[in-house]
Structure 1
Amino acid sequence: MQRNKLLLIFYGDDFTGSTDVMETLAINGIPTLLFLKTPTASEVENIQLKRRFGGSKLRAFGVAGIGRSLDPVAMQKELDPIFSALAKFPADYFLYKVCSTLDSAPHVGNIGTAMAVALKYFPSTQIPCIVGAPFLNRFVVFGNLFARLDNKTYRLDRHPVMSLHPVTPMQESDIGRHLSRQTDLKMKSVNLLQMQSGLQDAEVSDQTESDPKLIIFDTLSNDDLQFLGDHLYNSWQGGTQLVLGSSGASYGLAKYVLSQENIQEGENIGGAEIVSQIFVVSGSCSPVTERQIRYCLDLGFAGVRMDVIKLIARQQEYLLEVLEEVAEAFRSGRSAIVYTALGPSDPSIHQIQGMHEVNLNAVLGPGAAHLFAEMISRFGQIRCVVVGGDTSGYVSRQLGIYALEMLAPIAPGAPLCVAHATDVRFDGLEIALKGGQNGKDDYFEKILKGH
């Protein structure tokens, strides 16, 4: 059967997760670009890659979205025109990319809403659901989701960060039970024992049922991902197969294609140049980010706390105060990091948790974008980092960046990228969009060094 021109297209429900998919494909030799708005056919055909990992012709691309931060009505309005446009591209697979900690709830980031819209444009009798990403320390065992923090692995509903997430606290580790609160789709779990038997007894090959069904796969190791990549590739039946999952799904598929097509893994991938200063804005309350902030403060970074309550109350006036403090640090030759919290126990978390009437992402995101735009206007193209998936989405859109390409791998799921933008101030901007849980303590130092 003739394969499509493109291997994969994807929609990421937040920005940091979208760069994660791009990275897993690029480092495995699949030329990939991440668009920040839905591209036209001409844009995809004629785009000039700035870094050519795996070749000069796109084999995969995605659209970075903000679906995770939207209520179901807004989400449907956001996704319908994007999916309609993406369905016109000839691709073997469409991946609706979710976080490997499955950040979602009935009222925000509803995955059931996303699947209902996706099935209109990518009809599939079975929807493989591959959430685990062992290379990011996220595992699925007997249908339950686990995540490692430091040296300890937690069931997700007992995870010290995800169970206390300020927007989507995880209250259920069983993926099927968690998703059943968001969708009426039928579901089936395929566990490791069934996978070890070659899926012979898992009943995942029968695609004769008329009603779509989610097939939730266990993933304990990276080998499991490659096994599932094999399954995805060889069970393809034409058209565009809908897939629900994290970057584990793209990793598995890319690894399998790599093994079959004799692609040079990591071809032409190196580091970026060392720079003397970077500018970071963090909207994360993760303990991982907390350690990263404290590490760079010990290196001499200027730390500027951004009070979210003050930002809500007097946005423009308060942003100017923050901006002047950051600019003073840059003039003195220091890197700077603006942060809203130092870890999950920060007093600010308790202050904002009860503010249900305020869309915090819609306040913090534009505020962060304003800071980046003003700093670049004053100091030229500085290397930038945005921490927090929802914040990253707003920042990128407001800077007018229309596409990202991987520049250098820094930490799994959090590469340094180069921006494609119509505004010359931001075209070629080196920027990293990092999830709160990604990277080791020295992540920001590695951004400075470029590797």
Structure 2
Amino acid sequence: MGNNQQIQLAFYGDDFTGSTDALEFICKAGAKAVLFIEAPATSQIQRFGQLDAIGVAGKTRSLSSEDIVTVLENAFKTLSDLDARHLHYKVCSTFDSSPTIGSIGTVLDTASIIFTNRPIPILGGTPSLGRYCAFGNLFAKMGIGSSGAVYRLDRHPSMSQHPVTPADESDLRFHLQKQTNKAIGLIDIVELQKPVQDWNEVTGEDSVLIDAIYEEQLIKIGEWLEQQSSKHDGSYFSIGSSAIEMALGFYWNKIGQLQKKVDWLKPGKAEPLLVVSGSCSPVTAAQIAWAKRNGFEELVIDAAGICNNESPEKVFDKVNDLLRQQKNMIVHTGPKQANNLSSEKLGNALGTIARNAVMDCSIKRVVVAGGDTSSYAARAMEIEAVEMIAPLVSGAPLCKAYSHNEWIDGLEVNFKGGQVGAEDYFGVLLEGRMRSE
């Protein structure tokens, strides 16, 4: 973006895995970007030189509506002071939320007080991740980066059974209006076929949902977002998955504002690899089964016990002993154990296991699986910020960690949501190879 010092995009993610997903897509577009754990002050940003984009890896996906308001009022105020052209609240691509937990409606209500643009856009689909929004209804592939079948969201074998926010409605307008009184309009797939200047003006609505089923539609959506932002003073606020980063990135590439990045560092193999997982997803369960068949050692922990700090040293000793033997390790809770535990307690426990292993065994790379727990695991690992290293699997890049803890600083980390990846996901992360290699 030349000598323009203004940050073009700031985003706030509702969990850590989703935030690294957004980081990946804006970096692929050629932006220089850093993801922070907390909303950064200007002095923190300046450490990294001139940035095109910054992100904040929040934890609002697991919070009550009351806590969301408290967290976001402060975060949005800090991010607004950066005077970024676009400010995006990044949600899971399956819009995981409910009126009481991770409420996107509460986010919309809070943002409506702080930001002036109307209607506030909500981008529904993320085609590259197998998420398709048509006439307001969301469809999702079984697994991201896999060949799984596509299901309507409320009939999705995994999302309809989510332990915290099960999907019971595929129309995102109805889903969100259980969480807010704000009126939500629609720019549908028929409208998307027209030139941007011919799209119907959405008037009298507080927000507008935008369909997306094909990746090429995102260029038009990015153009529309840019046109809308030029009509408003201050940051232009939007809600959606990492498709917002893709839409803006595609459009900025088209007009030459950014140059798409295609050459990435090949990180190579990192053995032993440590995986810690609090995911209840059948996608992750299949990946763990693959890893066990392919030489990974498995340790199923007593999730309730470790969350309650019962004999954690025994777990540390088992994990670290195997890592010292150069064994690749998966530490997880099993598919059912985590259902009745708080994301905070479980994430803290898994992150503490990972931090202890890094400090004791000097391992190079750690994978954290599970969207709801990831934000707490990252904090327990004492990660303060990350930069992208390489896009090994779409939606879950390999990153470099920054930390005041000298053992964690420089660590290679990968955070993956439960739905991300094919069966050999942990093998890909072990080898450090691009999916196309």
Interval containing the TM-score (normalised by the shorter chain): over 0.9
1:116 Cα offset (Å): 2.0
Q: 372, 387, 408: which is aligned to 1:405?
A: 387
Equivalent residue runs for 1:49-448 within 5 Å? 57-149=50-142, 150-198=147-195, 202-204=199-201, 213-236=206-229, 237-238=231-232, 239-261=234-256, 263-312=258-307, 314-317=308-311, 319-342=312-335, 348=336, 353=339, 355=340, 359-448=341-430
1:263 Cα offset (Å): 3.7
Cα deviation code 1:108-144 (max 9, x no counterpart): 0011211222223322111111121110001101100
Take 2:389 and 2:5, find their aligned partners in 1: how far apart are those partners? Answer: 27
SS at 1:163 equivalent: helix
TM-score, structure 1 normalization: 0.90
SS at 2:239 equivalent: strand
1:10 and 2:11 aligned: yes
Take 1:45 and 1:167, find their aligned partners in 2: how far apart are those partners? Answer: 38
Identity of aligned residues (%): 36
2:310 aligned partner, one-letter code? Q
Take 2:304 and 2:349, find their aligned partners in 1: how far apart are those partners? Answer: 13
SS at 2:255 equivalent: helix
Structure 1 residue ranges, 4+ long, deviating more than 4 angstroms after superposition: 199-202
Give the number of equivalent residue pairs.
424
Give RMSD over aligned pairs. Answer: 1.8
SS at 2:168 equivalent: coil
1:201 Cα offset (Å): 6.5
Take 2:48 and 2:104, find their aligned partners in 1: how far apart are those partners? Answer: 31
1:298 aligned partner, one-letter code? R
The answer as to whether partners of 1:93 and 1:240 remain within 8 angstroms in 2 is yes
Take 1:257 and 1:393, find their aligned partners in 2: how far apart are those partners? Answer: 30
TM-score, structure 2 normalization: 0.93
How has the CA–CA distance of structure 1 residues 303 and 398 changed in structure 2, closer, same or farther, with 3 Å as cutoff?
Answer: same
2:289 aligned partner, one-letter code? R
The answer as to whether partners of 2:7 and 2:83 remain within 8 angstroms in 1 is yes
Take 2:178 and 2:84, find their aligned partners in 1: how far apart are those partners? Answer: 31
Take 1:263 and 1:99, find their aligned partners in 2: how far apart are those partners? Answer: 26
Cα deviation code 1:326-365 (max 9, x no counterpart): 12221222110011224xxxxx25xx65x4xxx5212211
How has the CA–CA distance of structure 1 residues 441 and 131 changed in structure 2, closer, same or farther, with 3 Å as cutoff?
Answer: same
- Structure 1 stretches lacking a partner, 5+ long: 49-56, 343-347
1:316 aligned partner, one-letter code? E
Cα deviation code 1:268-315 (max 9, x no counterpart): 423213222110011112122112111111121111112323335x52
1:194 aligned partner, one-letter code? E
2:265 aligned partner, one-letter code? G
The answer as to whether partners of 1:7 and 1:93 remain within 8 angstroms in 2 is yes
Take 1:4 and 1:156, find their aligned partners in 2: how far apart are those partners? Answer: 41
The answer as to whether partners of 1:133 and 1:246 remain within 8 angstroms in 2 is yes
1:232 Cα offset (Å): 0.9
How has the CA–CA distance of structure 1 residues 29 and 329 changed in structure 2, closer, same or farther, with 3 Å as cutoff?
Answer: same
Take 1:199 and 1:264, find their aligned partners in 2: how far apart are those partners? Answer: 23
The answer as to whether partners of 2:185 and 2:202 remain within 8 angstroms in 1 is no
Take 1:185 and 1:326, find their aligned partners in 2: how far apart are those partners? Answer: 49
Of stretches 5-14 and 437-446 in structure 1, the one that deviates more from structure 2 is 437-446
2:200 aligned partner, one-letter code? E
Take 1:267 and 1:32, find their aligned partners in 2: how far apart are those partners? Answer: 16
Take 1:401 and 1:363, find their aligned partners in 2: how far apart are those partners? Answer: 17
Cα deviation code 1:201-251 (max 9, x no counterpart): 753365xx5xx6211111101011122011111232242111010001110
Take 1:262 and 1:125, find their aligned partners in 2: how far apart are those partners? Answer: 26
The answer as to whether partners of 2:97 and 2:103 remain within 8 angstroms in 1 is yes
1:320 Cα offset (Å): 2.5
How has the CA–CA distance of structure 1 residues 4 and 262 changed in structure 2, closer, same or farther, with 3 Å as cutoff?
Answer: closer
2:302 aligned partner, one-letter code? D
